[in-house]
Chain A
């Protein structure tokens, strides 16, 4: 993830992660993942709502398609999901915002296994910075 931070900075952009619950949880997450990125804590999930992130249905959380994607990700990264903290059905996403406040790119998750490819986010950032 820190390698990603360098790429984003080289592309001329800021990058932050936003998670549910408290700064203490955010600090623990950073430490466990070994990352130096800023992690913001959104206990009330105010920014999730403003970003249009959705609450998943049960099949979007634990359906066969989601489980298969999760398994593939674990095999690829060598990391498995640990205990869920926060609203269990809250989905995330990613957004690139230009200095004039325009959302130039977004990918909000459709299910628990739907994550924006980092390369796509980086490409959107490069485009916004040019």
Chain B
């Protein structure tokens, strides 16, 4: 139901963002953004929303 997990999971954030760095996502205007570029020069805070609601 609702795609919920049947068993409790643990969140598992990585120690390094190497895999995240190579991911490319479109922004709200459709421009492609490579995540690694966000912290190439200065730190970056990434916030994953549960939903857009």
Interface residues of A (CB under 8 A from B): 8, 12-23, 25-30, 38-42, 46-48, 50-58, 60-61, 81-99, 101-104, 106, 108-110, 112, 116, 121, 124-125, 128-129
Contacts and interface: CB of A to CB of B under 8 A. Distances in A.
A97 B28 CA distance: 22
A102 to B, nearest CB: 6
A118 to B, nearest CB: 9
A23 B29 contact: yes
- The SS class assigned to the B binding surface is loop
Interface residues of B, number: 47
Identify the interface centre among B1, B27, B28, B44: most chain A CB within 10 Å of its CB: B28
Nearest to B30: A23
Given A23-B26, A82-B53, A101-B36, 5 more contacts: A8-B45, A50-B19, A94-B47, A97-B38, A101-B39
The 6 closest A-B pairs by CB, nearest first: A108-B11, A52-B12, A92-B48, A82-B53, A128-B43, A26-B28
A98 B39 contact: yes
B43 A38 contact: no
A17 B17 CA distance: 16
Contact of A17 (B3, B29, B49): B49
Contacts of B45: 8, 13-16, 94-96, 121, 124-125
